[in-house]
Amino acid sequence: MKTRTSGFATGVVATAALLLLIAIAVSGDVGLSLASTMVASALASVAVFAFLFPGSTFFSLALTNSIAVYVSIFVFLSETNFRGVSPAAQHAGFLLPVAGFVVGAILRRDAIRIIVTQRQIRSAADRRRSLSWLLPTAALCALTFLVPGIDPTGRAIDVTFVLAMGGVSVLVLITAQNVAVFLLDAGLLFEEFFERVERLIMPVYAFLTFYSMIVVAFASIYKIVDRFVPGPHFRILDHDRAIGFADAIYFSVVTLSTVGYGDILPISEPIKLIALIEVVFGVTLLLVGFSEIMAYSREVQARKRDHGAAEGDE
């Protein structure tokens, strides 16, 4: 019961956080009502899956990510191929594939539960089979790009939209087990990824600490030169003026990462030279830092293997 509650809560919280961000972002385009429907239906579907298939936190996270991708594709296709569709049709169109997947998973819950409890990534053949739903779904979505050429209006655009989303719903209903296998594999890969990230927390923290030291040091140098050496030294938003410390920090980060947005430009020779030195520091730090992080990861894995071998000998 504790595992079921934990999986339920994790899925709901993760979905709420991610979908809330997307809903806020798209609410201005699709309206607050549809954005709310997206969040509510996503929460409900993840809650159902967390209840039906407890014990796999990362399965819920993979489902959360998939729903977020679905929301993004849905908004893109709606705005691109179905301009003028009514809000009622949008609500129905969004809910149809979600409902189809949930119903299909419920109908095949015993088979899916066995797959979830096995907690192992499928073979290459099984992975290809689990992706069988993707090609027809993508083909159906691609066909919607023909809709603007037909230029349906009024009720016709609503019917066309609902039929298209209904087709997607039927596909995911039929292939719900394959979709669930795909999500499970993605969830296990998520889990493996986060386990590896956890081992890298300390070296990454050390790298970021050194990185921030360089940023602050060069930002201070920029500010000192700008203050005490006759200028101007910086062109900020097309104006030659003194740089503030906050802008110096920003310029230092942009320079160290070699991004170069161009909103703050070095225009004096001393500052150009210092910026070049910082770029060299940045590239060297990235190369050495990445190498050291990977070396640390290999050492941790080697120690774990040696420890496991020692316990086996005992």
208 and 173 housed in the same domain: no
Query: What is the arithmetic mean of pLDDT over 108-130?
Result: 69
pLDDT tens for 74-92 read 888 888 888 888 889 999 9
Query: What is the arithmetic mean of pLDDT over 205-209?
Result: 81
In the chain, pLDDT over 70 holds for what percent of residues? 77
At 5 the pLDDT is 47
163 and 147 housed in the same domain: yes
142 has pLDDT over 70: yes
In the chain, pLDDT over 90 holds for what percent of residues? 24
143 and 230 housed in the same domain: no
- pLDDT range class, residue 129, cuts 50, 70, 90: low
Helix, strand, coil percent content, the chain, rounded in steps of 5: 80, 5, 15
CATH code (residue 253): 1.10.287.70
Q: Write out the residue range of the structural domain in which residue 156 sits.
A: 2-198
Task: Give the residue among 175, 158, 163, 13 at the shortest CA–CA distance from 88.
Answer: 158
User: What number of residues does the chain have?
Assistant: 314
At 301 the pLDDT is 66
206 and 187 housed in the same domain: no
User: For the chain, what is the domain count?
Assistant: 2
Would you say 56 and 7 are in contact if contact means Cβ atoms under 8 Å apart? yes
187 has pLDDT over 50: yes
Q: What is the DSSP string of 115-177?
A: HHHH--PPPHHHHHHHTTTHHHHHHHHHHGGGHHHH---THHHHHHHHHHHHHHHHHHHHTHH
Domain C-terminal end among 198, 222, 247? 198
- Residue 239: beta bridge partners? 236
pLDDT tens for 48-65 read 877 877 765 666 667 777
183 and 259 housed in the same domain: no
Please give the model's pTM, rounded to 2 decimal places. 0.65
Phi-psi region of 85 (alpha: psi -120 to 50; beta: other; left: phi over 0): beta
At 15 the pLDDT is 60
73 and 31 housed in the same domain: yes
At 53 the pLDDT is 75
182 and 289 housed in the same domain: no
69 and 190 housed in the same domain: yes
At 26 the pLDDT is 73
Domain C-terminal end among 158, 175, 198? 198
63 and 102 housed in the same domain: yes
pLDDT tens for 258-297 read 887 889 999 999 999 999 999 998 888 888 877 777 777 6
Query: What is the arithmetic mean of pLDDT over 228-244?
Result: 91
Domain C-terminal end among 198, 217, 236? 198
Does 21 or 30 have the greater pLDDT score?
Answer: 21
Window from 23-32, 129-138, 169-178, 229-238 with minimum mean pLDDT = 23-32
With 0-12 CB in 10 A as exposed, 13-18 as middle and 19+ as buried, what is 9? Answer: middle
At 221 the pLDDT is 95
82 and 225 housed in the same domain: no
189 and 208 housed in the same domain: no
205 and 267 housed in the same domain: yes
At 176 the pLDDT is 83
